[in-house]
Structure 1
Amino acid sequence: MKKILLLYMFLFLVLCVVDTTQTAQNISTKVLRFHVIANSDSNDDQDEKLRLKSYIVEKLRPIMQSFDNVNDAKKWVNNHQQIIENLCYSYLKNLVK
């Protein structure tokens, strides 16, 4: 009985892993990943990095939602890097005040 239960648990885990992998692959074709690099590994810098990332994502969300596919969004980002940099500088400038 224990062997059968272990077999079912193993099969369940395999199915979960397969489903998770397929979901990740499906999402990766629809999502634009955005990374921010912190100044250091300190907790304060990491927290600030997350706040900056949230700020940028919030500002770009309306623009990104207007695209039908991730390729168009990537093109926009590549062609408008200065806008994103300006948003970052604006955010950081407000921290200093």
Structure 2
Amino acid sequence: MNYGIEKLIFVFAGIFVISNIIFGKNQMFLNESCEETKVESQQKMQQGIAEHIIRFHVIANSDTKEDQELKLKVKDRVVEAMRPKLKNVSSIEEARKILRDNQTNMEKLADKVMKEEGYSYQSHAELGMTTFPVKRYGDLTFPAGRYEAFRILIGKAEGKNWWCVMFPTLCYVDESYDVITEENKETFKKVLTKQEYESIEKQEGQYFYKFKLLEWIKEL
């Protein structure tokens, strides 16, 4: 073969290899950028949802069977007491005020329940920001992230916790989350944007697993 032709083939082969390497890196960069954009978009969606809801969080003294059972009894009584007060509330500002106004009363109620059960633990109620994992309630799935929450901390507050959505209310004493009523859904449609509501409405589990993936990525 002519030396000039061999040299030309070698040059073109080198260009081809280098082009593939550059293209591959660019494609990888584009894929990573796309994934980052998706994650950022989902994070913004979570933050938007969080602006309109208040979660409820009860933390047990410890993980013993007795302390966990006590936690649920405290939860039941607090939910029973607060649901009528929040039933017709239409704004997060009003819900926030009601919770703050009843903070001391809920501490007293929790302490009363514990005393009735033979415990001397002290409770602490607070309204503030805290981190939640992804959570599904019937047809609605809430992404992991930071939310405003009304919290009841029992004793040392070192045990497993219980949570629900206090405003708009999705807290039930019987913990029956398999079916969310149309009334509940309409309430969420009123406080969330159309896009935010569609993102939490379960469609064959896709949002649950998408939010689970986002939760895993955040932990990396």
Residue 76 of structure 2 is aligned to residue 55 of structure 1:
yes
Amino acid across the alignment from 1:7 = F
The alpha carbon displacement at 1:2 in A equals 5.0
Contact 2:89 2:95 in 1 (8 A): yes
CA distance in 1, matches of 2:49, 2:74: 20
Amino acid across the alignment from 2:102 = H
In the superposition, the TM-score normalised over structure 2's length comes to 0.33
CA distance in 1, matches of 2:51, 2:77: 21
CA distance in 2, matches of 1:46, 1:14: 42
Task: Compare CA radii of gyration and give the structure with the larger one.
Answer: 2
Contact 1:56 1:84 in 2 (8 A): no
Give the equivalent residue in structure 1 for 2:115: 93
- Structure ranking higher in strand proportion: 2
Q: Structure 1 unaligned segments of length 5 or more: list them.
A: none
CA distance in 2, matches of 1:38, 1:51: 9
Residue 91 of structure 2 is aligned to residue 43 of structure 1:
no
In the superposition, the TM-score normalised over structure 1's length comes to 0.61
Amino acid across the alignment from 1:55 = D
Amino acid across the alignment from 2:79 = E
Task: Indicate the SS of the match to 2:54.
Answer: coil
CA distance in 2, matches of 1:8, 1:57: 50
Contact 1:37 1:49 in 2 (8 A): no
Q: 1:69 aligns with which of 91, 115, 135?
A: 91
Q: Cα gap change, 1:21/1:95 in structure 2, threshold over 3 Å: closer, same or farther?
A: same
Amino acid across the alignment from 1:32 = I
Q: Cα gap change, 1:49/1:9 in structure 2, threshold over 3 Å: closer, same or farther?
A: farther
Give the equivalent residue in structure 1 for 2:101: 79
**Matched residue pairs, number?**
94
CA distance in 1, matches of 2:70, 2:32: 39
- 1:28-57 Cα distance to aligned partner (Å, 9 max, x none): 221224454554xx4228746853674366
CA distance in 2, matches of 1:82, 1:7: 53
Give the equivalent residue in structure 1 for 2:49: 27
Higher relative contact order (CA 8 A, sep 6+): 2
Contact 1:35 1:53 in 2 (8 A): no
Task: Indicate the SS of the match to 1:43.
Answer: coil
Amino acid across the alignment from 2:118 = V
CA distance in 2, matches of 1:91, 1:26: 36
Percent identity over paired residues: 23
